[in-house]
A and B are shown apart, each in its own frame.
Chain A
Amino acid sequence: MENDKLVIAGHEFSSRFILGSGKYSLSLIEAAVKYAGAEIITCAVRRANTKEHENILDFIPKGVTLLPNTSGARNADEAVRIARLARELGCGDFVKVEIMRDTKYLLPDNAETIRATEILAKEGFIVMPYMYPDLNTARDLVNAGAATVMPLASPIGSNKGLATRDFIQILIDEIDLPIIVDAGIGRPSQACEAMEMGAAAVMSNTALATAGDLPTMAEAFRKAVEAGRQAYLSGLGRVLVRGASPSDTLTGFLRD
């Protein structure tokens, strides 16, 4: 486990839990990062687009990698402009591309996401696109220069867990980039399950923000993500579909 690192575009991280920041008090960010053991925290560029009064950027602890997101973008061009602004604001080269043209479910627009990823990757950004788990899109994102692929588990904020489980599994099996499960993870057990499946990391915001005690829940998530990762690395035991092993095997008739 000690040498088990999450590697994103050559950058190494020990933690596989990415934290959101937009739905709880700024004063809790530091505790959330600490208890979650997070090394990456996302932040909406549009939220950071404020004057001196309590800018969210001032609340991000030092040493934590900032992952600005392009939420609010409705197409690739807007996402590209927001990413460039993030760079100007000193947010670094990481960017999480989020493109939604649906205000109800906030589902990502895969086609525009591919387009934005291609443009931003060429400009030297480390692009982490938020997407609907579709294998063809994921392959296109790889070709467009994405650093990771971030499929949604269920709609943002829904806390509904791994509604897209089987499709995420396909991405994990077929795509060589880190698959980071993003959006909809509502409880530590779901984060654990995503990690058991072989996800490279999990990202969560609402689940923590809506918890009774945020730091405690952050810690619970940290443990769940670690447990899931450990289970994945150790190799999950077999699951017997039909109960106990039959003594008469199906292939017992074979003679050589």
Chain B
Amino acid sequence: MENQFLIDSDELTPAALEKKHRLENDPSSRTDHMKYMEGQQVIRSDIREKVMSAVESYDPSAYKANDVMRALQKQSLSVEDLKALLSPAAEPFLEQMAERARIETRKHFGNTVYLFTPLYIANYCENYCVYCGFNCYNKIRRMKLNMEQIEHEMKVIADSGMEEILILTGESKTMSDINYIGEACKLARKYFRMVGIEIYPVNVEDYKYLHECGVDYVTVFQETYDTEKYETLHLMGHKRVWPYRFDAQERALMGGMRGVAGSALLGLSDFRKDALASALHMYYLQRKYPHAEISLSCPRLRPIINNGRINPRDVGEKQLCQILCAYRIFLPFAGITVSSRESKTFRDGIVKIAATKISAGVSTGIGDHESKYTGKENPEEGDEQFEISDARSFKQMYSDMSDEGLQPVLNDYLYV
């Protein structure tokens, strides 16, 4: 078997187990991952072809130290230069890359660092993505907050001082439909200055609706740009359709969103190619929609339930740092977010080099902000998607960042 993710919950019925095993072992039982499902909007776009042709021709081992040095001396980098900076040949130049990245970050963002927190409002999911803690075959406590519970969570978070929120759901259109998410976003606008979403990809009309509900930023993770690998990891559900997911950010911009974010989940496939694809995806989006704000994240695989049996391709901290420096030098104006999957030490270091935004006061569980923020127990909590590493509270993060000589920014946004 190609990957080590597959886990059987002891609560699955024999029929469910049979289906699960068939999906895992018999590729012919799976749908065509390149074919749109009914209701999934097709847009005319050349971005996918541009990104993928660059990625397909990318051979990281073909680049030499000279290519890296040449790239670092340029003011404005070409796609070829980016490829060099992401290659193994650039690893010995990490310090020089960090120096250049730091200069670019300071020029475009000064010493500011933006703070935000995610809020998971539901963890129901209809997809079978073998590496994800929320996947529909995993035995976890499922939960969907009602509006009252959502408002309560928002109050707790807003009271901590946070002004920007990212609303997340598992990918279930039936349990977390677009109106449910829209209502949650309307509530969020009451408590926060800036509302982003990270939900299942939707059509332009739905993005338009969510924008009207107060959302201005859409994050979608492609997981991997390696379509063949994607096919073996996303075995069932609407998420299986790779191209529909790829076009999500563009549909969001067409729906009026101010900005979009994306990335591969580094470690699922060849991370150098995935990093290249992530950067180029955002690069070509901004070229086509020059007014769009773009942002890159950099998730790596982190432990989830059944951690002991997972063995992803490793992306070490040095590799991650190399990727983020390459992003920054190639896209000096792009936002770069580093999540709480990363350690305090890594985040404290990387915000001085390349990152512009970090989360604080994070929970990836459902309805547990009060217990996490105040210690007040709540028996009704949904399980977490993944374990975080940096559990610093908003207040702690604010003072830590100030101590690092950085200016925390809680909001840089106006709804106009």
**Which residues from chain A sit less than 8 Å from chain B, CB to CB?**
22-26, 44-47, 49-51, 53-54, 72-74, 77-78, 81-82, 85, 100-106, 157-159, 205-206, 209-210
Contacts and interface: CB of A to CB of B under 8 A. Distances in A.
B296 to A, nearest CB: 13
Nearest to A50: B411
A116 B416 CA distance: 14
Contact of A25 (B107, B161, B292, B407): B407
A73 B333 contact: no
B290 to A, nearest CB: 4
Contact of A23 (B112, B163, B286, B414): B112
A205 B411 CA distance: 19
A23 B163 CA distance: 19
15 contacts: A22-B110, A23-B109, A46-B412, A46-B413, A50-B411, A53-B163, A72-B413, A101-B290, A101-B291, A104-B290, A157-B107, A158-B107, A206-B106, A206-B107, A210-B107
A71 B184 CA distance: 28
B39 to A, nearest CB: 31
Given A46-B413, A78-B416, A23 B193 contact: no
B411 A159 contact: no
Contacts of A82: 414, 416
Which 7 residue pairs spanning A and B have beta carbons closest together? A23-B110, A78-B416, A101-B291, A46-B414, A209-B110, A102-B290, A25-B407
Interface string B107-118: 111111000000
B164 to A, nearest CB: 10
Interface in B118-177: 161, 163
B410 A103 contact: no
B111 A25 contact: yes
Nearest to A74: B291
B294 A49 contact: no
Nearest to B406: A25
Contacts of A54: 408, 410
Interface string B83-98: 0000000000000000
Contacts of B333: 103-106
A85 B414 contact: yes
Contacts of A53: 161, 163, 410
Contacts of B407: 24-26
Contacts of A209: 106, 110-111
Given A23-B106, A24-B110, A51-B410, 17 more contacts: A23-B110, A25-B111, A46-B411, A46-B413, A50-B163, A51-B163, A74-B291, A77-B416, A81-B416, A82-B414, A103-B290, A105-B333, A157-B107, A206-B107, A209-B106, A210-B103, A210-B110
B27 interface: no
Interface of B: 103, 106-112, 161, 163, 193, 286, 290-294, 333, 402, 405-414, 416
Contacts of B112: 22-23
A205 B111 CA distance: 12
Contacts of A105: 333
Contacts of A74: 291
A47 B407 CA distance: 12
A49 B411 contact: yes
Contacts of A85: 414
A50 B193 contact: yes
A73 B413 CA distance: 10
B111 A23 contact: yes
Nearest to A52: B161
Nearest to A53: B161
Contacts of B286: 103-104
Contacts of B290: 101-104
A218 to B, nearest CB: 14
Contact of B412 (A24, A47, A81, A103): A47
B108 A25 contact: no
Nearest to B192: A51
Given A82-B416, A159-B107, A209-B106, A103 B292 contact: yes
Nearest to B293: A103
Contacts of A26: 407
A217 to B, nearest CB: 13
A102 B289 CA distance: 8
Contacts of A24: 110-111, 407
Contacts of A100: 291
Nearest to A159: B107
Contacts of B107: 157-159, 206, 210
Contacts of A206: 106-107, 110
A73 B416 contact: yes
A158 B332 CA distance: 10
A210 B111 CA distance: 8
A123 to B, nearest CB: 17
A109 B402 CA distance: 35
B402 to A, nearest CB: 8
B111 A72 contact: no
A52 to B, nearest CB: 9
B161 A49 contact: no
